[in-house]
Amino acid sequence: MGISEKVMEALRSGILLNERVTTLIDKVDRVDQDVRKINDRLIRLETMVEIAAMRPKLSGDSK
């Protein structure tokens, strides 16, 4: 294998690595968005539970 073939192979490997990293970045961004949405939903649920816990219990709710 000549030097020019080695250089071309190194360039191909670099380009392939770049494409894979770009794809991985896109996937990580999507996961980040999903986690943020889940976090927002969890905060809303926690708030609802805290509000419900602060409400005075009615005398008929003895169960």
* pLDDT value of residue 56: 80
Q: How many CA atoms lie within 13 A of 57 on its CB side?
A: 6
* 23 vs 32: CA distance, rounded Å: 14
Report the pLDDT value the prediction gives residue 55, as an integer from 0 to 100.
87
For every residue of 42-59, DSSP letters joined together read HHHHHHHHHHHHHSPPPT
pLDDT in tens, the chain (63 residues): 799 999 999 999 999 999 999 999 999 999 999 999 999 999 999 999 999 998 887 655 555
Distance CA 36, CA 33 (A): 5
